[in-house]
Amino acid sequence: MIDVVYFAWVRERIGLARERVDSQAATVAALVDELRAREDRYAAAFADISALRVALDQELADFDAPLSGVREVAFFPPMTGG
């Protein structure tokens, strides 16, 4: 089981801030493929991966990063701080 959290328009599009996902995905990209296959709202949120960023256990990562040992995956659009 892995905690998946969503922020900003990704959260709005999926309609959830956080969920526990039963997944054996080896990489972030594989997890995204599983989520996309679930429902239209996930497919819409993950339609364009280049418009998204990912953090693994609160550290920015790449979509080809492995998920072994990771407890929390966060998906969000490019940040707009400052």
Partner 1 sequence: MRISVQEAPFDPGAEAAGFGAGRSDVGAVVTFAGLVRDDSGRMQALEIEHYPAMTERAIAAITQEAMARWTLADALVIHRYGRLTVGETIMMVATAARHRADAFAAAEFLMDYLKSRAPFWKKEIGPEGESWVAAKDADEAALKRW
With binding defined as CB under 8 A, does residue 37 bind partner 1? Answer: no
**Segment interacting with partner 1, rule: CB under 8 A, options 20-28, 31-39, 62-70, 72-80:** 72-80
Q: How far is the CB of 37 from partner 1 (least distance, A)?
A: 26
* CA triple 68-71-82, angle to 5 deg: 115
Q: Which of 29, 77, 59, 39 is nearest to 19 (CA)?
A: 39
Is residue 65 part of the contact set for partner 1 (CB under 8 A)?
no
Distance of closest approach, residue 43 Cβ to partner 1, in angstroms = 19
For the beta carbon of residue 61, count every other beta carbon within 10 angstroms. Answer: 17
Measure the CA–CA gap between 51 and 76, rounded to whole angstroms: 9
Among 35, 67, 73, 74, binds partner 1 (CB under 8 A): 74
Q: Site residues (CB under 8 A) for partner 1? A: 5, 7-9, 55, 58-60, 72, 74, 76-82
